Amino acid sequence: MQAVSNIHIKEVKGGSFLSPKGFLAAGVEAGLKNEKKDVGMILSEVPATCAAVYTTNQFQAAPIKVSQDSISKEGKIQAVIANSGCANACTGEQGLRDAYETRRLVAQKFNLNEHLIAVASTGVIGVNLPMEKLAAGIEQLEPGDALEQAVAFQTAILTTDTMMKTTCFSAQINGKTVTMGGTAKGSGMIHPNMATMLAFITTDANIDPEGLQTGLSEVTEKSFNQITVDGDTSTNDTVFVLANGMADHETLTPEHTDWPVFIELLRVTCESLAKQIARDGEGATKLIEVEVKGAKNELDAQMIAKQIVGSNLVKTAVYGADANWGRIISAIGQTKTAVNTGNVDIAIGPIVMLKGSVPLVFSEEEALDYLQKDFIQIFVDLHNGEATGKAWGCDLSYDYIKINASYRS
């Protein structure tokens, strides 16, 4: 197998989830929200291999159940219909009927088999979908491949987001250029194993369903499942990957020589979207990245990194530009992983504050200057092994409370 270090992944500047061959999109204003686009779809010219991962919240919303039903038929999807403004979660049998009816309406409009359609919703929990408005919105959808069509879809899935999340990369696989693009929404209730986030990833790679699901599940653990905003998980979170095979190369499987290339392409795409979600946390002013090395195993490193970035005390210290490394070591100690407490290093950016568990004298002025930046890195060395892990989150500001205190109004 090819080593990851030798793999060249190229960022496609100005690219989007419509950059891979054969994908179209649309977004319209259907009246589910006030004067904003709120219904969108992604359409592949041909049925695409599909993999998905979902929230672990026990109250999974109706759209998830319908999407699971669709994908289970043959591992392929040709269209995804998404709406914002209403999560269609905790809506009982009526909610499930509405999700299936949404799928039927899309199938009818675009002359597709129902099982080739996935459904995604985001918004207020416990409210039934306004089906007349949604049906009218579906009728307005006219997918295209222009950048404005991508923007229309991206706008239609936003809730409290302050920005659209988009990314695109390419790589050489089996002698062909394979492109992968993605978009996502999410800014609050983010504490994956995923939460209030939706991500849609498209690629023209040719891959079998089992391999794609294996790859997505593996990559999700190191990307979407390593972000946190507020420690809450939601009911609708889903990541879809659609691979329509239009790059026209040999079918990829884990045994293929270029399998590591595809996995790295998927990883950088997912990590890019995950970091954008974390950066856009409700009320956030800074993106925080925590890198842990020297752990006994990768899981320990990931758990500790996420514990640190998820600590409200760490998040508020970053917001206040307070170089309080004691909050970081306290977060490490709260995990269930075995730590050599006598030999831990901690640095905030370039400033080492703890070495071998011994506090160092550092410049408070230098630390303040660094912590006023909008991208903050925290480094931890456990000196306990060779494994590493990363996690991403954001600071916790006064605006987070303002936004969530009036979410329904």
Residue 191: pLDDT above 50?
A: no
Residues 131 and 51: their CA atoms lie apart, in Å, by 28
pLDDT at 1 (0 to 100): 35
* pLDDT mean over 10-31: 97
pLDDT at 409: 45
Tokens of 94: 């009526």
pLDDT tier for residue 20 given thresholds of 50, 70 and 90: very high
CA distance 227 to 270: 11
- Could you say which DSSP state residue 252 is in? B
Q: Is the pLDDT confidence value at 362 over 80?
A: yes
Q: How confident is the model at residue 211 (pLDDT cuts 50, 70, 90)?
A: very high
Task: Give CA separation, 67 vs 117, 245, 391, in Å.
Answer: 7, 21, 28
pLDDT at 241: 98
Give the tens place of pLDDT for each residue, 395-406.
877 665 665 555
Average pLDDT rounded to a whole number, residues 63-76:
96
Separation of alpha carbons 23 and 42, rounded Å: 7
H or E segment and range at residue 149: helix 147-156
Categorize the per-residue pLDDT at 281 as very low, low, confident or very high, splitting at 50, 70 and 90. low
Lowest mean pLDDT segment, chosen from 80-94, 134-148, 226-240, 338-352: 226-240
Evaluate whether 179 touches 220 at the Cβ level (below 8 Å).
no
Rounded CA separation 196/228 (Å)? 11
Percentage of the chain lying above the pLDDT 70 cut: 91
Under CATH, what is the fold of the domain 287-405?
Ubiquitin-like (UB roll) (3.10.20)
In this structure, are residues 29 and 37 in contact, taking their beta carbons and an 8 Å threshold?
Answer: yes
- Burial class of 97 by CB neighbour count within 10 A (0 to 12, 13 to 18, 19+): middle
Percent of the chain with pLDDT over 90: 74
Instruction: Pick the closest to residue 290 from 327, 241, 253, 243 (CA basis).
Output: 327
Which pLDDT band, with edges at 50, 70 and 90, does 189 fall under? Answer: very low
Is residue 160 annotated as a catalytic residue, yes or no?
Answer: no
- The Cα–Cα gap between 81 and 130 comes to 15
Can you tell me the mean pLDDT for 377-381? 97
DSSP string, 353-390: EEETTEE----HHHHHHHHTSSEEEEEEE--S-SEEEE
d(CA 298, CA 119): 34
Q: Which CATH architecture has domain 4-273?
A: 4-Layer Sandwich (3.60)
Q: Is pLDDT above 80 for 233?
A: no
pTM: 0.82
Out of 72-86, 215-229, 343-357, least confident range: 215-229
193 pLDDT higher than 50: no
Which residues are within 8 A (CB) of 297 and not within 5 positions of it... i.e. 6 or more apart?
385, 387
pLDDT-derived band of residue 192, with 50, 70 and 90 as boundaries?
A: very low
Work out the pLDDT band at 195, boundaries 50, 70, 90. Answer: very low
More confident residue, 71 or 276: 71
What is the rounded CA–CA span in Å between residue 294 and residue 245?
Answer: 40
One of 102, 122, 196, 220 is an active-site residue; which one?
196
Instruction: Look over the chain and give the mean of its residue pLDDT values, rounded to a whole number.
Output: 90
Domain boundaries, the chain: 4-273, 287-405
pLDDT digits (tens, 9 = 90+) for 103-129: 999 999 999 999 999 999 998 889 999
Compute the average pLDDT of residues 82-102: 95
Which is more confidently placed, 277 or 11? 11
Q: Got the DSSP string for 1-39?
A: ---GGG---EE-TT--TT-STTEEEEEE--SSSSSS--E
User: What mean pLDDT comes out for the span 214-226?
Assistant: 89
